[in-house]
Amino acid sequence: MLPLSRISATLSVLLLMALCSFAALAQEDGQKTAASPLRLSYVAGEVSFSRYGAEDWVEARLNTPLAAGDALYVGRDSDLELQMGSRAFVRADDDTQLTLVNQTADFVQFKVTSGRVSFDLRTLPAGYSVEVDTPNAVFTIDRTGYYRVDVDGDVHFITRRGGRAIMVPAGGQAMSIHPSEEIVVKGSTVARAETYVAPELDRWDRWNYDRTDGLVDAVSERYLPSGIAGAYDLDHYGRWRVVAEYGPVWVPDAVAPGWAPYSTGRWVWDPYYQWTWIDDAPWGWAPFHYGRWVYLGGYWAWAPGPVVRHAVYAPALVAFFGVGPHVSVGIGIGGSGVGWVALSWGEPLTPWWGRPGFIGRPWWGGWGGPRVVNNVVIKRTTVVNVTNINYYNTRVSNAVVATTRERFGTGHVHDAPVRVTQTRELEHVRGALPVKPGPASLAAGARKGIRPPESVLSRPVMATRPPSESRLPWRTEAPKPETKAAPEQRYVPAPKRPSSDLPRPEFGAQTGAERPRPPLPPRYEERRREAEPAAPGSVIRDRAETVRTVPGAPRATSPESMPPRIMREAAPPRAVQQRERERITPEPRRGEVAPAGPRAAPEETRQRERVERERADLPGKPANRMYRGQDDDKRERRRSQQ
């Protein structure tokens, strides 16, 4: 019989192991339910970015994952777009200052101190709410719709497409905002709210509508879990193939010779996820935060894996290594460096962020395919020794990317490359990286950007929650609270009652012209007539009728006699809008190549054919093949004969 002391010691060890396992599982569950960062998905003109602890404002970069406390400023004749998942968008334009205050799994909080911001929310999870803090009112959105906020002295809040919200003005009580309303809030200490009908769509609204319509209709969504941003970019910058071993894979177009994943971009410091990859490519979001990369027949292909119910974001899906002088040939390396390689099919990620018990443990968060270690499929219950993992992509030429420790996290990777020559001698980094971040790590070499006016930065706002605290590892002291303008006096309790039980703002007295009636919805007969060939002479006759004036007919209203707003911003008929969208080539994003015109020159045609021949050896088979059935014209003729 064992002594009592030995039994007690054994039970203590088992209890400690169980507690550690429970802590690790709790951390993994926390990662699965953590909020995916907002993606900076579009930048045009002068847009600057600031993160807590940075030395100054810098130019905003495409594909930046936003963290709580990040601020953006849009200069004149500029605009930006943030993606919240796959079907919700936040856009801002001229002279707008926008801050992400807080973000959790079911809540996001923005601060708008100047300018114009639109929230085009085509999808919003159940129980999710969006808070918008302005100088004299707080707005809470908990359902889909189109919302617009203008801050310029007074605050204007507009709802469209069935959108509803709750407003708490300064010094007042919670109020309900119904669809198709414009709320005008005046005053600061005690604000007064008035309601008017929502005005007609202007150029900004129409651009938001049209852009969202294009972004949400992405073919690539059929291969991705719901909620992943960037599917539209995959449609335009690569091709989907079906491979027997991996299923659907995506092959990027026009990458440089010798290119490898995670080789064109930079590492930045995130307050939560720590070292985070920002890729230069306009498509560089989903392939670098989800899925795995595989090398097939001379091509790199991104494999999202089997579709899972909930996508889980990662700051990068790589394995890190310590690179010494004996395994590398570098440019001014002088000592050791840091290397990394993209994870291959089913390989685990070893987290470098999070709580103790989660860091350094093999993790397959968000991966729905088989778990693979050392090219062998393992069971979910298999205990993996992290020290004995060999990563498959290290065998691929140029797949291991590296840079000096001094350059890591402070600039572009290509500015100080390190060539790895002895991949077998790489030392796998398990857990935190051996690189200390600093203020420069928050911008990673980005150029200086425009700074908002101090009057905009210091403007207080109404809010229901204080901003989340950010701790920086290079600062030993906790952040000191702000001493300006007593921000605690600007907080109001979050509304708890349903919006239907709340009072509504009074009708405003500063009324203008009555809003015109909208045109009737289009009938399909109109589209059918558009598709029919025109009768001989009908074009000439119609053109003559438009010029001829009928005697005694009432004269058309001149533009000068119409209200200025309608004259400048009235929406054209829907059919005209459709023809304009088909005719006008969309403006390319920053960093994108402008799309070719409708008619390609002979040289462009030959070049396109040459590219097609060069890519004829792509792995697998085309994935986006349509059903080979009767076309629409045959179906229409068959229906008309019935």
| Whether 209 and 244 share a structural domain | no
If asked whether residues 27 and 150 sit together in one domain, one would say no
Residues 46 and 159 in one domain: yes
For residue 492, is pLDDT > 70?
yes
Grouping H, G, I as helix, E, B as strand and the rest as coil, residue 230 is coil
Pair (246, 387) in one structural domain: yes
Q: Is residue 402 part of a domain?
A: yes
Residue 608 lies in a domain: no
CATH code of 153's domain: 2.60.120.1440
The pLDDT of residue 27 is 47
Residues 303, 159 within the same domain = no
Do 352 and 374 reside in the same domain of the chain? yes
Same domain, 55 and 138: yes
In a domain, residue 514? The reply is no
Highest mean pLDDT among 251-260, 334-343, 499-508, 536-545: 251-260
Sheet holding 621-622, edge to edge: 292-296, 299-303, 247-252, 238-243, 621-622
Q: Which two tokens stand for residue 453?
A: 């006016």
Range with the poorest average pLDDT among 98-102, 186-190, 263-267, 359-363: 186-190
Alpha-carbon dihedral angle through residues 391, 397, 401, 402, given to the nearest 10 degrees: 100
Determine the average pLDDT of the residues in 287-309: 96
Examine the domain organization and report whether 150 and 259 are in the same domain.
no
Share of the chain above pLDDT 90, in %: 62
**Average pLDDT of the chain?**
83
Strands 238-243, 247-252: parallel, antiparallel or unpaired by DSSP?
A: antiparallel
Mean pLDDT on 430-448: 92
| pLDDT at 378 exceeding the cut of 90 | yes
Instruction: Mark whether 209 and 236 lie in a shared domain.
Output: no
pLDDT digits (tens, 9 = 90+) for 115-163: 999 999 999 999 999 999 999 999 999 999 999 999 998 999 999 999 9
In the structure, what pLDDT confidence band is assigned to residue 16 with cuts at 50, 70 and 90?
very low
The pLDDT value recorded for residue 324 is: 79
- With respect to residue 60, please indicate whether it lies within any of the assigned structural domains: yes
Residue 528 has pLDDT above 90, yes or no: no
CA–CA separation, 165 and 178 (whole Å)? 7
Mean pLDDT of 430-445: 92
535-577 per-position pLDDT tens digit: 655 544 443 343 333 333 333 444 443 334 333 333 444 443 4
Give a yes or no: residue 462 inside a domain: no
Residue 316: per-residue pLDDT: 98
Mean pLDDT lowest among 35-44, 216-225, 372-381, 407-416 = 407-416
Whether residues 4 and 70 share a domain: the answer is no
Closest CA to 446 of 67, 65, 48: 48
- Rounded to the nearest 10 degrees, the angle between the axes of helix 203-216 and helix 574-583 is 70
Does the structure show a pLDDT above 60 at 29?
no
Please give the pLDDT value at position 637.
Answer: 62
d(CA 568, CA 334): 63
Average the pLDDT over 282-298 and give the result. Answer: 97
Q: Where are the beta strands (DSSP E) in 313-396?
A: 318-323, 328-330, 337-342, 371-373, 376-378
Tokens at 35, concatenated:
């909020």
DSSP state of 226: T
Those residues whose C-beta lies under 8 Å from the C-beta of residue 201, and which sit 6 or more positions away, are 209, 569, 571
Q: What is the distance between the alpha carbons of residues 289 and 11, in angstroms, rounded to a whole number?
A: 41
Res 636 pLDDT > 70? no
Percent of the chain with pLDDT over 70: 76
Number of domains forming the structure of the chain: 3
What sign results for the dihedral spanned by CA atoms 492, 494, 497, 502? positive
Query: Which residue range forms the structural domain that includes residue 110?
Result: 39-84+87-214+492-507
What would the pLDDT profile of 41-83 be if each residue is shown by its tens digit? 999 999 999 999 999 999 999 999 999 999 999 999 999 999 9
State the alpha helices, DSSP H only, in 100-250. Answer: 203-216, 231-237
Of residues 569, 574, 561, 560, the one with CA closest to residue 518: 574
What pLDDT score does 309 carry?
86
Nearest Cα to Cα of residue 414 among 430, 398, 427, 428? 398
pLDDT in tens, 572-630: 444 434 444 444 444 444 444 444 444 445 665 655 555 555 567 899 999 999 988 75
pLDDT at 469: 82
Please name which of 144, 172, 174 lies closest in space to residue 160, comparing C-alpha atoms: 144
SS3 of 399, please? coil
449 within a domain of the structure (yes/no): no
- Mark whether 127 and 146 lie in a shared domain: yes
Judgement on whether residues 383 and 285 belong to the same structural domain of the protein: yes
Instruction: Provide the pLDDT confidence category of residue 336 given band limits of 50, 70 and 90.
Output: confident
pLDDT at 6: 55
Which residue shows structure tokens 């025109």? Answer: 534
pLDDT in tens, 166-179: 999 999 999 999 99
69-73, 263-267, 305-309, 625-629: least confident range: 625-629
| Tokens describing residue 147 | 């919302």
pLDDT score at 531: 72
**Stretch 285-306: mean pLDDT, rounded?**
97
> Is residue 376 assigned to a domain?
yes
CA dist 544 and 452 (Å) reads 55
Residue 60 has a pLDDT of 97
Q: What is the C-alpha separation between 468 and 132, in angstroms, rounded?
A: 16
- Any domain includes 47: yes
Residue 247 to residue 292: CA distance in whole angstroms: 12
pLDDT (tens digit, 9 = 90+) per residue, 194-245?
Answer: 999 999 999 999 999 999 999 999 999 999 999 999 999 999 999 999 999 9
